[in-house]
Amino acid sequence: MRNIVTSAAFAAGLMATAATPAFAATELTMYYPVAVGGPLTEVIDGMIEGFEAENPDVKVNAIYAGNYDDTRLRAVSAIKSGDPAQLSVMFSIDVYDLIEQDLIVPFDDVVKTAEDKEWLKSFYPALMANGDVDGKTWGIPFQRSTIVMYYNKDMFRAAGLDPEMPPKTWEELVSTGKALSKDGKWGLMVPSTGYPYWMFQCFAIQNGKELMSGDGTKTYFDDPAVVEALEFWRNLATEEKIMPEGTIEWGTLRQAFVQGQTAMMWHSTGNLSAVKREAQFDFGVAMLPKHKKPGSPTGGGNFYLFKDSTDEQKEASLALIKYMTAPERAAAWSIATGYVGVTPDAYETEALKSYAADFPPALVARDQLEVSVAEFSTYDTARVREGLNNAIQAALTGEKSPKQALEDAQAEADRLLRAFH
């Protein structure tokens, strides 16, 4: 029996009706990643129950598959073993590989009505950037985020800092971090495991350089601005002493923050609801500090439609995705988890307007979309990304200089992407 989220906001969003067609008996299997904090499985189960109540001839089997990489591997393995899924939420950055493997179909081939075509245009453009390839829409945003800065206002006050003035530039980040680094506490922590390429993309963007081309065929790891960005990240620990040297774990950083071990952390907005629930102190959320420019990559998962499905299954899958991304449910999802409401209309719902009025941090990630770019993604993205992750780790641990590490990663990326030029 599925668990149902009991929050009033989510219940209101869940029960809001949407016009969904009736289908003949259709069964859907959906793979879904659960990798960060928040009551994700309960929320998804509740949405599925609401959809099935409106569409009694559709049965949705949700398979929760771990992190994004686990989800991709399990879904693709199932398809290749003859036990296919019809849809999945997977990394937005998997799009090139999924297209290359001929596993997914563009939504343009499934939408039929003028209403459906308008629905495709209803999402925030920054969240569509990873899913739009060669003029077609291959992914629909759902579990989407940006990286934001969480900060402990009580620690700011104790250090004589204005708790309503988080650092807005790299220079202020360093000076603020130094004021906060004392008594065994750190000023800042930026995770270097889990998704190091994602965190590094922040520094590169802020230093004025993208890591990849818009068509996914080239990388710019050895560009001087990119090298400078990695040097800055490393120097936060080795030179400025506002962050611990070596490895900072993605999976335990939230606990370190809520336990008061660091005054500031960079992390996914997908952790917002968990931090709100766990922090026993006054905290704030801010956009990331800028250098040459402000910016963050978007992150998270998109809905994909698998090719090996019947027309009826594709139609039912589309209806499920429309149901789950409808404004009321997108609002309820954002409130329950901290992820971004994926459409402007979600922020016009009474539920999210009321929640944001009481809890303004809920709007920070949405506001940051104005300066957000597509998350790092290329063809052969897993191997290219692994090379970049290894370079970042080598630089942060002192195994290699940032310049040498990124030159090595660029050489490997050139080799892997040569066939796609």
Tens-digit pLDDT profile for residues 110-124: 999 999 999 999 999
Across 41-45, 334-338, 370-374, which has the greatest mean pLDDT? 370-374
Of residues 63 and 38, more confidently modeled = 63
Block residue for tokens 């950037």: 129
pLDDT digits (tens, 9 = 90+) for 169-192: 999 999 999 999 999 999 999 999
Q: Are 387 and 413 in contact (CB under 8 A)?
A: yes
Residue 40 pLDDT class (50, 70, 90 cuts):
confident
Q: Domain 8-144+299-367 maps to which CATH number in 3.20.20.70, 3.10.310.10, 3.90.1150.10, 3.40.190.10?
A: 3.40.190.10
Percent of the chain surpassing pLDDT 70:
93
Pick from 33-42, 90-99, 230-239: least confident: 33-42
Q: Kindly state the percentage of the chain with pLDDT values over 90.
A: 88
Residue 36 pLDDT more than 90?
no
**DSSP per residue over 169-224, as a string?**
BHHHHHHHHHHH--TT-EEEE---SSSHHHHHHHHHHHTT--SB-TTSS-B-TTSH
Whether the per-residue pLDDT at 11 is higher than 50: the answer is no
**What CATH number was assigned to the domain covering residues 147-298+373-420?**
3.40.190.10
Whether pLDDT at 234 is above 70? yes
> 399 near 236, Cβ under 8 Å?
no
Tokens of 68: 């994004």
Residue 250 has which token pair? 């993605």
The domains spanning 8-144+299-367 and 147-298+373-420 adopt the same CATH topology: yes
Token output for 193: 């495991």
309: DSSP letter: S
415: its two tokens: 């080799």
Mean pLDDT score across all residues of the chain: 93
pLDDT band (50, 70, 90) for residue 3:
very low
Using CA atoms, how far apart are residues 221 and 415, in angstroms rounded to an integer?
13
Looking at 64-78, 235-249, 335-349, 387-401, which range is the least confident one?
64-78
Instruction: Say yes or no to pLDDT of 4 above 60.
Output: no
- pLDDT-derived band at 327 (thresholds 50, 70, 90) equals very high
The answer to which of 23-27, 135-139, 299-303, 394-398 has the lowest mean pLDDT is 23-27
Task: Please name which of 340, 345, 294, 342 lies closest in space to residue 321, comparing C-alpha atoms.
Answer: 342
Confidence at residue 23, expressed as pLDDT on a 0 to 100 scale: 53
Residue 168 has pLDDT above 70, yes or no: yes
Domain ranges of the chain: 8-144+299-367, 147-298+373-420
Mean pLDDT of 62-85: 90
From the CB of residue 95, how many other CB atoms can be counted at a distance below 10 Å?
A: 24
Specify the pLDDT at position 374. 96
pLDDT in tens, 126-140: 999 999 999 999 999
Minimum mean pLDDT range among 76-90, 103-117, 286-300:
76-90
Kindly report the pTM of this predicted structure: 0.90
Burial of 240 (0-12, 13-18, 19+ CB in 10 A): middle
Instruction: Say how far residue 352 (Cα) sits from the centre of its chain.
Output: 20
Average pLDDT of the segment spanning 73-87: 91
**Per-residue model confidence as pLDDT tens digits over 264-287:** 999 999 999 999 999 999 999 999
Query: At 35, is the pLDDT very low, low, confident or very high (cuts 50, 70, 90)?
Result: low
Q: Give me Rg for the CA atoms of the chain.
A: 21
* Of the candidates 146, 130, 196, 190, the residue with the CA atom closest to the CA atom of residue 385: 196
When pLDDT is cut at 50, 70 and 90, the band that residue 10 belongs to is: very low
CB neighbour class for 277 (10 Å; exposed up to 12, middle 13-18, buried from 19): exposed
Asked if the model's pLDDT at residue 200 lies above 80, the reply is: yes
Look at the alpha carbons of 375, 380, 384, 389 in this order and tell me if their dihedral is positive or negative. positive
Position 7 scores a pLDDT of 43
Q: Between residues 188 and 39, which one has the greater pLDDT? A: 188
**Which DSSP letter does residue 290 get?**
B
